């Protein structure tokens, strides 16, 4: 039997994930994002273990991150016969991803403020 180190969230990483969640990032996406921000590359299985998420949750989070183009993957042959193993990594530095989240939230806030101003124009 082989031994392999399994990474788990520190309290700071938990806090960072919670901050992302509070900004509106989905829980599973936030956890995977933080995990990949602290690990240059990881397999789906490593992400499952490190984030304490189930395989379907990791798959959905990866789909969301891939749609945003924040994650990329490559395949390597499995040690045994079977499917190739996907190795995931962030497409951009974590800081740039946070910048993208900030831009999105600013646009949302500006849109909401514009709608409120339009409402005020009707009641004056």
pLDDT tens-place string over residues 82-112: 888 899 999 999 999 999 999 999 999 999 9
Residue 96's pLDDT is what?
A: 97
Mean pLDDT of the chain: 92
Q: Is pLDDT of 27 > 60?
A: yes
User: What backbone torsions phi and psi does residue 75 show, to the nearest 5 degrees?
Assistant: -115, 145
Q: pTM of the full predicted structure?
A: 0.85
Q: Is the dihedral of CA 61, 62, 64, 68 positive or negative?
A: positive
- Helices marked H in 23-93: 27-37, 44-51, 55-67
Percent of the chain with pLDDT over 90: 81
pLDDT (mean) for 26-43? 96
Percentage of the residues of the chain whose pLDDT score is greater than 70: 94
64-83 per-position pLDDT tens digit:
999 999 999 998 887 777 88
Q: Is the pLDDT of residue 2 over 60?
A: no
Q: Residue 9 pLDDT more than 90?
A: no
Q: 10 Å Cβ neighbour count for 24?
A: 11
Structure tokens belonging to residue 54: 């189930």
Q: Which domains does the chain have, with CATH numbers?
A: 11-92 (1.10.10.10)
């Amino acid at each position: 039997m082989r031994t392999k180190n399994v990474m788990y969230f520190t309290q700071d990483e938990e806090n960072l994930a919670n901050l992302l969640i509070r900004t509106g990032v989905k829980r599973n996406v936030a956890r995977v994002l933080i995990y990949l921000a602290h690990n240059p590359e990881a397999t789906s299985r490593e992400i499952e273990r490190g984030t304490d998420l189930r395989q379907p949750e990791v798959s959905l989070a990866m789909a969301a991150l891939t749609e945003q183009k924040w994650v990329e993957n490559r395949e390597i042959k499995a040690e045994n016969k079977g499917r190739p193993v996907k190795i995931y990594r962030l497409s951009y530095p974590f800081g740039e991803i946070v910048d993208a989240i900030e831009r999105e939230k600013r646009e949302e806030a500006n849109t909401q403020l514009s709608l409120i101003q339009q409402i005020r124009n009707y009641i004056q």
